[in-house]
């Protein structure tokens, strides 16, 4: 590790001021910079020298330099992020929040730093240190923070990059006037005149993009306008959160009702918009919430059926993602999930094979959605007489359809013509000369109701066009979902 003296800092500062016109100005600013760098916090001194040993950052917490750090104003480089007061406050808040989450003694850390720390002052600081001592590779604020706070989080467990418990530290700081004044110089260094926006100061997002794209040389040209590092007008504030990584649960559901939607509906009432709670999604989330505490759930199914259509057979696959769960995924037992599914066995919505899955299952379900066939049973009414000749017309194999977007969904779907395939149609039972029960196997995404009645000629051919009479569908069930391959 390199011990940075004021003279060494002056030589590094020359890296940023070599583009100045007068040597006199360089010397004056370098003297001021060296004096101000003596006010760095202890951990910024360590990382400037390239220190990477976790023990060095840990022992600093018991060093007399911490007493000096607490007496100082916020560090001019890290804005107080690495100072003992901020570290203790962040660790105490994390441990308090972690007490409400069941975990396995492993955690991972996400750090969000403000623009002034992560991309402006810290980069100036690290490039200056690297220029002062060629053998030094200064540590970033983010890495130094992880090393510094780990000893204070021993009660939480050990750090692990793939841990199921996510600790998030979000630091926020109002941009200092001097930092804001630097942004136009950044723009002039990064963009040719023809590409510069008309606004005098770029947005934070635009500034981040420019800073990430700048080479060290280009940044050094612009950074001379940020010297000497100004005092901190507004120290950072800290917001901590501790939560399990999203819990992914997969299952299949069957729906035995003809008045139940898959997801909640918003209906217009006299008092305004209201949400109808009765749905497959609501029933699943209600059963899970009784046993697994979480803040929010995201329900994704492999397709959907209409409200008046039952989902039978093996059921429809779905995934529910639980956000900010009070239990990490690896501690959710299969016995508990079986108990959740058993509670719904006498409900109109039933769950099958409920289990914890990983993110790869989402991709598998999307592939399954594109490569599947649906099996239907429907009761059909016709105005014409269903004699033997008509029934023979209904025995279909490998029928190609052209379906325009149905009129009933045209308000929410793009108007287009979709080619679809009917694998087969079988007559199951003739109820009377005007009613018949049919089994239909069709490509995923086929509108079966429109295939039956024709949708005013928007689906061709249709059962109505084959029988040359008015046809309507009375009842429809999904009896199975299978792969084509």
Read off the pLDDT of residues 444-470 as tens digits, 9 standing for 90 and up. Answer: 889 999 999 999 999 999 999 999 999
- Residues 363-373: pLDDT tens digits? 888 777 767 88
- Residues 410-435: pLDDT tens digits? 888 889 999 999 999 999 999 999 99
Residue 1 belongs to a domain: no
Residue 102 belongs to a domain: yes
**Cis peptide leading into residue 97 (ω within 30°):** no
- Residues 189-238: pLDDT tens digits? 555 544 455 555 455 566 667 667 777 777 776 666 666 666 777 778 88
- State residue 337's pLDDT score: 95
Domain C-terminal end among 243, 271, 305: 243
* 79 vs 285, higher pLDDT: 285
Domain C-terminal end among 346, 369, 392: 369
Same structural domain for residues 377 and 465? yes
For 135, the token pair is 């053998």
Phi, psi angle pair for 71, to nearest 5°: -80, -20
Question: Does position 153 have pLDDT exceeding 70, yes or no?
Answer: yes
Domain C-terminal end among 243, 262, 280: 243
Report how many domains make up the chain: 3
What confidence tier does 17 reach under pLDDT thresholds 50, 70, 90?
very low
How far, in Å, CA of 44 to CA of 144, rounded?
8
- State residue 317's pLDDT score: 92
Element containing residue 238 per DSSP (H, E): strand 237-244
Query: What integer is the mean pLDDT of 366-387?
Result: 88
Please state whether beta strands 459-460 and 396-404 pair in parallel, antiparallel, or not at all (unpaired). antiparallel
- Residues 273-323: pLDDT tens digits? 545 557 999 999 999 998 888 989 999 998 889 999 999 999 999 999 999
- State residue 180's pLDDT score: 64
How far, in Å, CA of 332 to CA of 102, rounded?
10
Helix, strand, or coil (residue 375): strand
Element containing residue 169 per DSSP (H, E): strand 165-172
Same structural domain for residues 30 and 168? yes
Question: Does position 483 have pLDDT exceeding 80, yes or no?
Answer: no
Same structural domain for residues 301 and 266? yes
- State residue 203's pLDDT score: 58
- State residue 192's pLDDT score: 52
Q: Report the percentage of the chain scoring pLDDT > 70.
A: 73
Residue span of the structural domain in which 271 resides: 246-369
- State residue 16's pLDDT score: 45
Same structural domain for residues 363 and 376? no
Which residue stretches of 350-387 are H helix?
360-370
- State residue 43's pLDDT score: 87
Same structural domain for residues 402 and 271? no
Question: Does position 131 have pLDDT exceeding 90, yes or no?
Answer: no
Query: What integer is the mean pLDDT of 385-391?
Result: 94
Question: Does position 330 have pLDDT exceeding 70, yes or no?
Answer: yes
Question: Does position 377 have pLDDT exceeding 90, yes or no?
Answer: yes
pTM of the complete model: 0.74
Question: Does position 142 have pLDDT exceeding 70, yes or no?
Answer: yes
Query: What integer is the mean pLDDT of 114-140?
Result: 73
Same structural domain for residues 183 and 332? no
Residue 471 belongs to a domain: yes
Same structural domain for residues 270 and 225? no
Same structural domain for residues 210 and 357? no
Question: Does position 247 have pLDDT exceeding 90, yes or no?
Answer: yes
- State residue 13's pLDDT score: 47
Indicate the Cα dihedral angle 438, 442, 446, 447, nearest 10°: 10
- State residue 195's pLDDT score: 47
CA distances from 408 to 219, 430, 455 (A): 58, 29, 9
Query: What integer is the mean pLDDT of 357-365?
Result: 86
Question: Does position 21 have pLDDT exceeding 50, yes or no?
Answer: no
Question: Does position 252 have pLDDT exceeding 90, yes or no?
Answer: yes
Poorest-pLDDT segment among 205-219, 231-245, 261-275, 399-413: 261-275
Question: Does position 86 have pLDDT exceeding 70, yes or no?
Answer: yes
Phi, psi angle pair for 418, to nearest 5°: -115, 125
How far, in Å, CA of 84 to CA of 152, rounded?
11
Same structural domain for residues 201 and 58? yes
- The CATH number given to whatever domain includes residue 446 is 3.30.70.3190
- State residue 482's pLDDT score: 84
Same structural domain for residues 276 and 346? yes
Q: CA angle 456-461-466, nearest 5°?
A: 95
2-38 per-residue burial string, b: 16 or more CB within 10 A, e: under 16: bebeeebbbebbbbbbeeeeeeeebeebbeebbebbe
Question: Does position 15 have pLDDT exceeding 50, yes or no?
Answer: no
- State residue 347's pLDDT score: 84
Residue 377 belongs to a domain: yes
Residue 137 belongs to a domain: yes
Taken as a whole, the chain contains a residue count of 485
Question: Which residues, listed in sequence order, are joined to residue 319 by a DSSP beta bridge?
Answer: 250, 300
Half-sphere exposure of 126 (CA within 13 A, CB side): 21
Question: Does position 354 have pLDDT exceeding 80, yes or no?
Answer: yes
Helix, strand, or coil (residue 318): strand
Poorest-pLDDT segment among 89-98, 133-142, 195-204: 195-204
Residue 91 belongs to a domain: yes
Q: Which DSSP string do the residues of 156-197 spell out, in sequence order?
A: T-EE-TT-SEEEEEEEE-PPPHHHHHHHHHHHHHHS-GGG--
- State residue 78's pLDDT score: 84
* 171 vs 133, higher pLDDT: 171
For 485, the token pair is 């391959």
Same structural domain for residues 96 and 117? yes
Angle between helices 6-17 and 122-132 (to 10 degrees): 110
Poorest-pLDDT segment among 117-131, 175-189, 458-472: 175-189
* 186 vs 143, higher pLDDT: 143
- The CATH number given to whatever domain includes residue 336 is 3.30.70.2510
**Cis peptide leading into residue 461 (ω within 30°):** yes
Same structural domain for residues 232 and 159? yes
Residue 434 belongs to a domain: yes
Q: Which DSSP string do the residues of 270-309 spell out, in sequence order?
A: TTEEEEE--BHHHHHHHHHHTTS--SEEEEEESS---TT-
Question: Which residues, listed in sequence order, are joined to residue 110 by a DSSP beta bridge?
Answer: 168
Residue 355 belongs to a domain: yes
How far, in Å, CA of 176 to CA of 195, rounded?
26
Strands (E) located in 271-416: 272-276, 296-301, 310-323, 349-357, 372-382, 396-404
Is the separation of the CB atoms in 297 and 287 below 8 Å?
A: no
* 155 vs 188, higher pLDDT: 155
> Tokens 């409920």 label which residue?
354
């Amino acid at each position: 590790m390199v011990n940075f003296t004021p003279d060494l800092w002056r030589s590094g500062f020359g890296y940023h001021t070599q583009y100045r016109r007068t040597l006199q100005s360089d010397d004056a600013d370098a003297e001021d910079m060296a004096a101000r760098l003596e006010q760095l916090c202890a951990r910024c001194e360590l990382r400037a020298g390239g220190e990477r040993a976790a023990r060095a950052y840990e022992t600093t917490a018991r060093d007399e330099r911490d007493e000096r750090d607490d007496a100082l104003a916020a560090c001019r480089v890290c804005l107080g992020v690495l100072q003992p007061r901020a570290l203790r406050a962040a660790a105490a808040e994390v441990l308090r929040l972690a007490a409400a989450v069941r975990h396995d003694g492993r955690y991972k850390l996400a750090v969000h730093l403000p623009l002034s720390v992560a991309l402006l002052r810290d980069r100036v600081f690290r490039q200056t240190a690297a220029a002062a001592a060629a053998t030094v590779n200064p540590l970033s604020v983010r890495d130094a923070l992880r090393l510094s706070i780990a000893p204070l989080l021993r009660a939480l467990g050990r750090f692990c990059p793939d841990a199921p418990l996510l600790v998030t530290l979000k630091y926020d700081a109002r941009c200092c006037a001097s930092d804001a004044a630097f942004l136009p110089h950044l723009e002039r260094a990064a963009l040719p005149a023809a590409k510069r926006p008309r606004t005098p100061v770029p947005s934070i997002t635009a500034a981040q993009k420019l800073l990430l794209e700048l080479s060290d040389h280009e940044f050094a040209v612009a950074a001379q306008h940020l010297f000497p590092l100004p005092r901190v007008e507004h120290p950072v504030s800290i917001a901590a959160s501790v939560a399990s990584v999203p819990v992914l649960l997969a299952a299949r559901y069957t729906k035995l009702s003809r008045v139940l939607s898959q997801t909640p509906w918003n209906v217009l009432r006299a008092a305004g918009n209201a949400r109808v709670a009765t749905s497959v999604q609501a029933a699943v989330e209600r059963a899970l919430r009784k046993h697994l505490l979480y803040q929010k759930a995201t329900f994704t199914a492999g397709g959907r059926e209409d409200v008046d259509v039952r989902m039978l057979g093996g059921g429809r696959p779905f995934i529910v993602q639980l956000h900010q769960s009070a239990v990490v995924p690896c501690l959710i037992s299969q016995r508990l999930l079986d108990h959740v599914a058993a509670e719904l066995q006498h409900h109109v919505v039933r769950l099958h094979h409920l289990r914890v899955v990983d993110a790869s299952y989402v991709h598998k379900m999307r592939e399954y959605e594109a490569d599947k066939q649906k099996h239907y049973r429907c009761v059909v009414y016709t105005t014409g007489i269903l004699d033997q000749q008509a029934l023979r017309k209904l025995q279909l194999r490998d029928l190609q359809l052209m379906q325009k977007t149905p009129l009933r969904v045209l308000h929410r779907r793009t108007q287009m013509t979709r080619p679809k395939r009917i694998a087969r149609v079988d007559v199951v039972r003739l109820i009377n000369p005007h009613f018949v029960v049919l089994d239909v196997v069709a490509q995923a995404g086929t509108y079966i109701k429109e295939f039956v009645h024709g949708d005013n000629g928007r689906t061709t051919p249709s059962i109505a066009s084959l029988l040359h009479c008015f046809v309507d569908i009375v009842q429809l069930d999904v009896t199975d979902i299978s792969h084509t391959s």
